[in-house]
Structures are given as C-alpha cells and as structure tokens.
Amino acid sequence: MLQGASILLIIGGGIAAYKTLELIRELKKRGCSVRVILTKAGHQFVTPLSIAALSGEKVFDDLFSLTDEVEMGHIQLSRSADLVVVAPATADLMAKMATGQASDLATTALLATDKRVLIAPAMNVRMWQHPATQRNLATLTGDGVAVVGPNAGDMACGEFGPGRMAEPLEIVAAIDALLAGPPAMPAAAALAGRHVLVTSGPTHEPIDPIRYLANRSSGKQGHAIAAAARRAGARVTLISGPVTIPDPAGVETIHVETAQQMLDAVERALPADIAIFAAAVADWRVAAASGEKIKKSGGRTPALALTENPDILATVARHATLRPALVVGFAAETEHLVEHARAKLAAKGCDLIVANDVSLTGSGITGGVMGADRNAVHLVSASGVTSWPTLGKDEVAARLVQHLAGLGAQWA
C-alpha cells in the first residue's frame, strides 16, 4: 500500500541517480512521503536542491551534522520509514552493505534500520558480473535485502548487458509489492533446529564427453529458497545442478550434474524435515552416452535414444522410511495451471505444488521465467489454492519459507 507510506531513499553515486528524481515524483504522486539521504558520490549526479524541491523535505547528507542529529538522529531517520530504498545501488554501496560498514550517513542508516531494504543496482556490466559483486549480492539477498533489476540494455559507458538501473515505475512496483507483503525476514528462529533440503538449477545429461542435454534453469529460485530457509534458522542442504550463481552463504551446497547424481545426493542428505524440489530436472537422459566424442561421419546424423530419468520428487515423497514431513514440488504451466498442479500433487505424492504461471512472463522458445528475476506463483495443496502477485524470486522464497514455517503443526 503506497498511500501514506514513508520511504527513506538513499541515492548513491551513479549516472542513474537522475532517474531517482522521477522516482521521487512517482512516489509522491501515489501519496508516499519520501526522505532522502544523498551520498557524497550522489552529489556529483543530482543536487540536494532538486531533490528537496521534489520531495518537499530536507535532504540529509552528512553523518556528523549537529543540526541534523538534533532535528532527527540517524537511527531515527532509518527507523521512521516503512521501507528503505537504495537507488542507484552502486557496486561500492553494495560492497559496503554486504560487509556491514558504517562509514557515512547512508551506510550507518542501512546498518541501523529495522525495516526492509530494497536495492536497485546500477553499474557497468562487467562490474555487475564480477564475482565480488555477485558474492555481495548473494550476501545481501541472504540477509533479506530485496532487489529490483538491473535491466539489460545499452549502458551510459557504451557497453551492453545487465547493469542498467530498473525504471522508476518498476521500482515503484517493487516498493508496492514489498509494502503489501509480509516482512521478508521470518522470525530468525522459525525453522531453528530443522533440516531443509532444496534442489536447484538444471541437470546436464551427457551425450558424449563434451555435449549434453540441458534446460535454461538459472537456479535463482532454488538458491533464494535455500538462503531464505537459512535465514529462518534452518540447517540447509542445497543440491544444485550446474549454475553460474554463487552458493548461498551458510548453506551446505552439493554440486551435481545429472538427474541420477541429484537423486543420489538427495537420498544421502535425508532425513530432512522439509524438502523443496525447485530443480528443473531433465526428464530424459541419453540411453547410452558415448565414452568418446561422437564424430561426424559421412553426413549421417546420429540418432539419440533417450530414456526417462528417475523422478526425484516422487521418489522422496514416496520414501518408505525417510519421507520428510513436508514435500514441496514446483510446476511450470502455461495453461490450466491449477488443474495441472492438482494432478501433479496427486501424481507425485507431495504436500504442496508451487505453480509458476510461465505464460505471464512471456515464455517464448528462448526463455521466459527461466533466468528471469520475477515469478508469479500459486500455491496448490489439498486444502486449496493461494495466489501471490508477481514478485521477485527472493520475495517468493521468503514468503514460501514463512508459509512452510507456518505449517509447523504438520511436522512439529
């Protein structure tokens, strides 16, 4: 609910800072009050005067200003807001946040806040893709920070790729979703003492030593769930197919390639209290993968005979002795979502299906929800259907973990 919400906006030092003026206008239009902290670097891109004119509030920019501290201390500044938004979240600001620095007013307020934090990263594509930034991002999402963007496109520096700050209206939508949802950080003890097993990513099924069958799963949703379960105090085992995202902090991550290896690792990791199967397991593997590279020979096209992979979710849900108390599956559907999810619930013997409405995200032959950052899901169980709005994958993860923790009576 944006009307009447109070936003603390921290403007970092990036070229995208100019877009925050539009963001302030859009938020004000929707009845929010906006207080702004402008970092030292942010001063290079926007002026306190234009911010004050648009926000109708004094701009805060110096940790050690006695007048500011008397009027409103930095702790109070960070707590009086309903939500803290960092835009643009530069690589530097993200690094400082991830390491808990408190070197200026912005970082001090971020460390002192007890409210949800949303970051809108913006930086050069190489800086965004650098393992250090991706590590910091994983730490931040693991800490419950929500993320909007960055988008891919032409960049001010002349390069192309992900790194452009989300558009003001996208940030407004993310703020709206966060204000509407439950607090992201489930009570730290909600899953304390529980063992949560999560599968994530694709599987790679070898054709020969250098080729394989795979799918486009990025692992973002499964990894976000593992991180959220960890935040809720669980011991988490994540069994991941090949992905390019980092292992979540504090989570035991086992890397596998094939469906069979994933099943073996899952069985070894049992017993668990909750098992969440977010991996996009290849349904088939090549019946007889070649030990040697298959060579072109006389224009003949090799025929690949396929055989079905074990269904990991169904195997665990039907485990005679070690079935976890809660078994959760995922389903990607483009039509008849609820009927298909109900059928899957019964066919696989699980307690809950998280159904992805992939038709809403423009799933074409080249992608769609796979690899994207947002997800529209419906929770389908024997007791009914709960639909959530389109949310960031970390928000889906936080809500799912909260939901499962709330089902505690079933597995206490």
Judged by CB under 6 A, the chain residues 250 through 269 that form the site for ligand CTP are: 259
| Chosen residue from 139, 309, 375, 402 binding ligand CTP by CB under 6 A | 309
| Chosen residue from 311, 351, 373, 395 binding ligand CTP by CB under 6 A | 311
CB of 374 to ligand CTP, least distance (A): 18
Residues 6+ apart with CB under 8 A from 172: 2, 23, 26, 27, 30
42 or 329: whose CB is closer to ligand CTP?
329
128 or 277: whose CB is closer to ligand CTP?
277
151 or 253: whose CB is closer to ligand CTP?
253
Binding piece for ligand CTP, criterion CB under 6 A, among 29-37, 165-173, 231-239, 328-336: 328-336
Token pair for residue 405? 């923790």
CB of 288 to ligand CTP, least distance (A): 19
Are 79 and 48 within 8 A, CB to CB? no
From residue 17 to residue 46, the character string flagging contacts with ligand CTP as x (rule: CB under 6 A) and all else as - is ------------------------------
CA dist 226 and 232 (Å) reads 10
> 319-356 b/e with 16+ CB inside 10 Å = b?
beeebbbbbbbbbbbeeebeebbbebbeebbbbbbbbb
Q: Is 343 in the site for ligand CTP (CB under 6 A)?
A: no
Residues 6+ apart with CB under 8 A from 320: none
Are 329 and 350 within 8 A, CB to CB? yes
Q: Is 331 in the site for ligand CTP (CB under 6 A)?
A: yes
110 or 352: whose CB is closer to ligand CTP?
352
Q: Is 312 in the site for ligand CTP (CB under 6 A)?
A: yes
Are 142 and 134 within 8 A, CB to CB? no
| Chosen residue from 190, 279, 401, 404 binding ligand CTP by CB under 6 A | 279
Are 116 and 84 within 8 A, CB to CB? yes
Instruction: Give start and end residues of each alpha helix (H) in 130-206.
Output: 131-142, 168-180
| Identity at 301, one-letter amino acid code | T
Using CB under 6 A, count the residues that bind ligand CTP: 14
CB of 248 to ligand CTP, least distance (A): 18
Catalytic amino acids?
A: 157
CA dist 309 and 314 (Å) reads 12
Q: Is 369 in the site for ligand CTP (CB under 6 A)?
A: no
| Chosen residue from 52, 332, 360, 407 binding ligand CTP by CB under 6 A | 332
Binding piece for ligand CTP, criterion CB under 6 A, among 115-123, 166-174, 324-332, 381-389: 324-332
Tokens 């069979």 correspond to 260
Please count the other Cβ atoms lying within 10 Å of the Cβ belonging to residue 123. Answer: 28
To 10 degrees, the CA torsion angle through 83, 229, 399, 335?
130
| Chosen residue from 94, 98, 118, 313 binding ligand CTP by CB under 6 A | 313
| Identity at 348, one-letter amino acid code | K
| Chosen residue from 91, 106, 281, 391 binding ligand CTP by CB under 6 A | 281
Q: Of 223, 97, 205, 88, nearest to 156 (Cα)? A: 88
Q: Is 241 in the site for ligand CTP (CB under 6 A)?
A: no
Binding region for ligand CTP (CB under 6 A): 199, 259, 277, 279, 281, 283, 309, 311-313, 329-332
